[in-house]
Amino acid sequence: MVDEINMDCCCESIEEKDEKKDVNCFCENIKEENESRDFCSETIEKEEKNGFNCCCGDYEVTDDSKLENPQNSKKYIDLKTLKKIKNMAESLDMDIIGFGKISKEEMKKNEKLIYPNAIVLTMKIGEKIINEPPSEFAQDLNNLLYDKFGKSLYIISDYLRKNDFATQVAHPHQNLLDLSKLAENSGIGIVGRSHLLITPESGPSQKIGAILTSIENLTFSKENTHKWINDYCKRCGKCIKACPEDALKKDYMDENRAEFIESKCLGCNQGCTYCIEECPFYKDEYNYLKEKHDKLESKLKEKGKI
């Protein structure tokens, strides 16, 4: 049951025994919680402390750091340590890793942000969650994934701190900053019409988290090769039609995203995933859709329509 929700145990794939201790495995707790449908629905209260909690749902974000930030943090990471971070992320069921830079304007505007350098990570939403109809149980499954992802981010954050790098975790269920925008800026995908990040690996089916850090020599993305997705989304609109509550409107709030009425979204409190299920990037392969898009663009150019 656990692995169906993308809750596979992460411990056995971390090689060094001493690092297993540092990892402070939480897998058994997740298994126990997953076997109880009311593991959190009766006890979690909605809070928005310091504006850090997500604006929807009833999941409470906690700081699971085991280590404090170093007093004298390092700014440069070597390839061996960076590779270890990537291996740890993979062993913790994180699918994508990218590096993003937060703009000076955003840093000035958002006083909660400490570091402008970001390690962006995603965790796939498993089919068990996607296939579950909107309900309290579906939301509980979502909360379990948030819990696993959050704990995994803190594991990597503590490893970085142990190696004298300063960190600040941006939990996937916080509103510390716009994680979708940060992920897009890191080049791993594009924010679609549905406001969800779309990536080649998982389509719109993932959670996003980040570790802001003192590390300055990360390979920050200079371009995004997935911008064609915006044009595809404009011709599609299946996510809008799929929403039973009309939370997504045909009108645009900006150049690429549909108007979103958060108070109507069942994904906020009932774990609804209909917009994900109907998205072509969830149903079909990324390369197939890219080829289909390119052929259409070519025909439209021949006819002088674009």
Residues 123 and 19 in one domain: yes
Question: Residue 3 and residue 203: Cα distance in Å, rounded?
Answer: 20
Residues 233 and 288 in one domain: yes
What pLDDT shows up at residue 197? Answer: 98
222: in domain:
no
Is it the case that residue 294 has pLDDT exceeding 80?
Answer: yes
221: in domain:
no
Residues 159 and 272 in one domain: no
159: in domain:
yes
Residues 165 and 292 in one domain: no
Indicate the residue among 155, 185, 213 that finishes a domain: 213
126/47: higher pLDDT: 126
Judge whether 52 and 175 are in contact, CB under 8 Å: yes
Q: At 180, which amino acid appears?
A: S
Judge whether 213 and 265 are in contact, CB under 8 Å: no
Residues 153 and 113 in one domain: yes
Judge whether 61 and 150 are in contact, CB under 8 Å: yes
Looking at every residue in the chain, the average pLDDT score rounds to 85
Q: Where does the pLDDT of residue 52 fall: very low under 50, low under 70, confident under 90, or very high at 90 and above?
A: very low
Indicate the residue among 213, 241, 276 that finishes a domain: 213
Residues 209 and 238 in one domain: no
Residues 171 and 98 in one domain: yes
Q: Where does the pLDDT of residue 305 fall: very low under 50, low under 70, confident under 90, or very high at 90 and above?
A: confident
Four-point Cα dihedral 108, 114, 119, 123, nearest 10: -100
Most confident by average pLDDT, 17-26, 117-126, 293-302: 117-126
Tokens representing 298 are: 């070519």
Q: Which residues pair with 118 in a beta bridge?
A: 100, 212
Per-residue pLDDT, averaged over 277-286, amounts to 98
Q: Where does the pLDDT of residue 254 fall: very low under 50, low under 70, confident under 90, or very high at 90 and above?
A: confident
Q: Where does the pLDDT of residue 29 fall: very low under 50, low under 70, confident under 90, or very high at 90 and above?
A: very low
Residues 10 and 124 in one domain: yes
Is it the case that residue 70 has pLDDT exceeding 50?
Answer: yes
Is it the case that residue 16 has pLDDT exceeding 60?
Answer: no
Of 227, 251, 238, nearest in space to 284 by CA: 238
Residues 201 and 280 in one domain: no
Indicate the residue among 178, 213, 248 that finishes a domain: 213
Judge whether 127 and 202 are in contact, CB under 8 Å: no
How many structural domains comprise the chain?
2
Q: What digits encode the pLDDT tens for the residues 183-202?
A: 999 999 999 999 999 999 99
Residues 142 and 72 in one domain: yes
Full domain range(s) for residue 260: 228-302
- CATH (domain of 252): 3.30.70
220: in domain:
no
Residues 256 and 126 in one domain: no
Indicate the pTM of the whole model.
0.81
Helix (H/G/I), strand (E/B), else coil: 144:
helix
218: in domain:
no
116: in domain:
yes
CA distances from 22 to 11, 96, 158, 273 (A): 11, 23, 8, 35
CA 229 to chain centre: 18
196: in domain:
yes
219: in domain:
no
Residues 21 and 62 in one domain: yes
